[in-house]
Amino acid sequence: MSGGPDAMIVLIRHGPTEWNAVGRIQGQSDVSLSAAGRREVATWRIPQRFQQAQWVSSPLKRAVQTAAVMGCHAPVTEPLLMEMNWGEWEGHRLAELRNKFGAEMEANENRGLDFRPPGGESPRQVQQRIKSWLAQTAAARQTRIVITHKGVIRAAISLVTKWNMMQAPPFPLRWDCAQVLRLSEQGQAALYATNFPLTGELT
């Protein structure tokens, strides 16, 4: 959907997986939605004003499956929207890593945007690929429903709010809701709506 110089980006995190349920770091591991996740996503609805928007998804199964359960069986898949690469730490739990690495892990986490798992990428690097995708979207003047990941949404919020990830986010992020950005023709993104329920209507 285009029309007007500004586009909207409706950011939605994929539904829950079995790894989410037990606290395992997924990163770019290709984990499917759980049965409970499918049931939750089946209750989500896109606001009426975005019914004609283009659907875009991370290529990871949990995102593509979320789009399908919500009614879009052939979203455009975009590798730039994949979850942050957690390298050697994928499949592990944060509590286990903190216990194992102690002060070293604490120092790494305290780096905020420059936190980086071994063999993985940092939130700042995720920001850089998001910037590239936002520029493409701005040029196309398209409003898009985006099924993506926690790390990508956090990186997008950090871009538009200047949050450095060294403290709590500027507002609580609910993962059963959408975060909506307004994107200018020049590619500048700003928050439009936060924690918008996927069962209501955006005015």
User: Would you please indicate which residues are annotated as catalytic (active-site) residues?
Assistant: 14, 83
150-161 helix and 123-140 helix, angle to the nearest 10 degrees: 80
Calpha distance 134→183 (Å, rounded): 8
Tokens describing residue 110: 């305290």
Residue with tokens 């049931």: 39
Across the beta sheet with 189-197, the strand order is 76-77, 54-57, 144-148, 7-13, 177-183, 189-197
One-letter amino acid for residue 28 of the chain: Q
